Structure 1
Amino acid sequence: MARAPTRDAVLKGMRAALRLQRDLGLDQGAARGHRVDVFGSIYRQNVPLLFRKLEPLLGAYLREGGNPGIILTTRRPLGQQRFTAAHELGHHVLNHDPHADDDSILRRSPDHARDYINLPPAEQEADAFASYFLVPDWLITALMQRHHWTPQHLQKADVVYQLALRVGASYRATLYALVRNRVIGAGIRTQLVKAQPATIKRALVPDYPIGSTQNIDVWHLTERDEGTVIEAGRDDLFVVKLREDSNAGYVWNFDELEMAGFAILKDGREQVTEGVVGAPAIRHVLARASDATVHGVYTLWERRQWAPDDNPKRWSFDYRPVYSHDAGLFRPSFRHAGVAR
């Protein structure tokens, strides 16, 4: 007999996710505006987390001799790894039996009954847990407010992709969360799901060649990202666009980024208003981190060289490199902000 997704299963998974967020303080204070630390949350539950080159499995929840454990593949993009991690954490929190998961967990949605034919209730619960734990409604709201994104903005694939980077979920999972939160309708989601993230990434850096985009994300950073936590993969690219009053002598300085190990690949300016004398420009920089770039808060200053202390403007972000494509046991550290092993 076919099993449709049950309201009870979804509610059970949702409530467990919200309860754990509260218990770990993930929805409080400064943490409320940043992506949920799913790997760190697993660690704080005293569950060993191991990364291995699994294929075709994405992950598994284990109980050996009554001791829990989670294994994740290193062969998937970070957003998919994080969703799988949240799914396996759901199995643990909800006291489910051991289970191995393939990529079918990425293709199904709780609002599509046909995706849940013959699916055990435990899987429905773990899916709901993962969705609410990884992309809670309050995080979507906080990010929309920070970036001044309206529901109309989130009808564009490139904006949804940037939201997905900041919540730390896959593009598809973010679309589902937007429908769940009633930011967009199911019809808009049907259209947006046709967009390919690889195409979106290449469009952000049209003059910079990218080979495989599987483990590369492209962040579009603006002044609205001031103070944000950026958890990025080692090969990610950063398109930084900052308003610059260069006609008044103010210039952004990127020396701190270069000294920290970031490579400045391109540097230029775009006029905000063509043909208007004295109009500000947009400083447009393409950067990439390196293996030597460590966790830290980096600050850029817009100053006049002859009067560096005269009303300077600052822009900072908290950079946290993620090494989830290296095999090994997860161990949080201050150096790599909870993702070094």
Structure 2
Amino acid sequence: MPNKKQLASDAIVKALQVRKQLNLAHDESVSAIDASEQLGIEVRLTNLPSMEGMYVGGKKPTIVLSSLRPQGRRNFTCAHEIGHHMMGHGEQFDELVKDRSFSRSVDPNEFQADCFAAFFLIPKVTLENGMKKRGYTYDTLDPIQIFKLSAWLGVSYSGVINHLVHGLGKISRSKGELLAKVQPRDIRRQLIGKSDMPHLVVVDEFWKGRAVDCEVGDYIIFPRNSFLENDSKFLVLPSINGLVVRASTPGVARVSTDLWSSFVRISPAQYNGRGCYRFEEEVD
């Protein structure tokens, strides 16, 4: 493999350039699917079980993602495919494999696309802005705080830990291993007393950037004093940890408090079709 340090440096520079091109502020998270469409790359989702993602170049560049993958992983894969596009790697097919981390560490294009994705979705300045607003520090980060950060950044719990250890070098490998021992299902059980749900998004008043994206069947915790517009799209559940809802109908709604607001976009579970249409309301 060519010099990994140089490959990583080139990918990081390109990732930050693309964020600037998209006019993303330092404290904003980003949806990789939305970013792809803004960059002129069509995104399609399909229920192929053996695939992570695919990039097809040419006059009409296209990214294909598996709708069967968890949402955080899917968002990272989409950013990874943007990396292939921006780094000029040509057509790529990312198969679902057991030892994904090994295969991506020995292939220079895969390594570079992973570096691009990590720093496109989680630049150091964005992460630290989000942590500062929430009163988090590297020394005291706990599983629930990382879980909340991962929801806002649109990546997996393990993805944030991996980036903190290997991408930014902000926590030790041993601390990363301890944090990784706590499973997201355990955090979900701690937050709302359930672990058998497809996905849980924890939203706070510091959420900035992308909309709150979820699928039908997902659970969301909003700040306690939140007001839901178009609340027919949610089933409200009893809780002492804030406003807990379950997304029930595709479409777009809005949530707000006295000081903050955000759009909430709901897609069908395991949606198949063009990414830009994934939040359209169902028609009887």
For the aligned pair, the TM-score class normalised by the smaller chain equals: 0.7 to 0.9
Aligned to 2:149: 163
1:260–1:293 Cα contact (<8 Å) kept = no
The 3-state SS of whatever aligns with 1:58 is strand
| Cα distance between partner residues in 2 of 1:322 and 1:253 | 18
Q: 2:190, 2:90 → 1: CA distance? A: 44
d(CA) in 1 for partners of 2:59, 2:251: 39
Contact 1:51 1:74 in 2 (8 A): yes
Distance 1:19 1:233, change over 3 A: same
Q: What amino acid maps onto 2:38 in structure 1? A: R
**Closer, same or farther in 2 for the Cα pair 1:49/1:160, shift >3 Å?**
same
Q: Is the 8 A contact 1:82 1:168 kept in 2?
A: yes
Which residue does 1:73 correspond to in 2? 66
Q: 2:236 aligns with which of 245, 248, 264?
A: 264
Aligned 8 A contact 1:216 1:236 in 2: yes
**Contact preservation (8 Å) 2:54, 2:64:** yes
Quick one: distance in 2 between partners of 1:62 and 1:139?
30
Deviations 1:86-142 (A, max 9, x none): 11111111111211113459842xxxxx6666x232111111111111111121011
Q: What's the TM-score, normalizing by structure 2?
A: 0.85
Give the conservation status (yes or no) of the 8 Å contact 1:49–1:69: yes
- The residue aligned with 1:14 is 12
Asked whether the 8 Å contact 1:332–1:340 carries over to 2, the reply is no
User: Is the CA contact 1:53–1:73 (under 8 Å) kept in the aligned structure 2?
Assistant: yes
Corresponding position: 1:97 with 2:95? no
Asked whether the 8 Å contact 2:250–2:266 carries over to 1, the reply is: no
Label 1:223 to 1:22 Cα distance change in 2 as closer, same or farther (>3 A): closer
Matched, 1:57 2:15: no
Q: What's 1:320 paired with?
A: 264
TM-score scaled by structure 1?
Answer: 0.72
Percentage identity across aligned positions?
23
Deviation at 1:320, TM superposition (A): 2.4
Residue 43 (structure 1) aligns with: 37
Q: CA-atom RMSD, angstroms?
A: 3.0
Output aligned runs, 1:184-263, within 5 Å.
184-206=171-193, 209-211=194-196, 213=197, 215-219=198-202, 221-222=203-204, 229-240=211-222, 242=224, 256=228, 259-263=231-235
SS at structure 1 position matched to 2:81: helix
Q: Distance in 1 between matches of 2:144 and 2:81?
A: 29
Distance 1:103 1:257, change over 3 A: same
Matched with 1:305 is none
**How far apart in 1 are the matches of 2:281 and 2:116?**
25
Q: Is the 8 A contact 2:211 2:265 kept in 1?
A: no
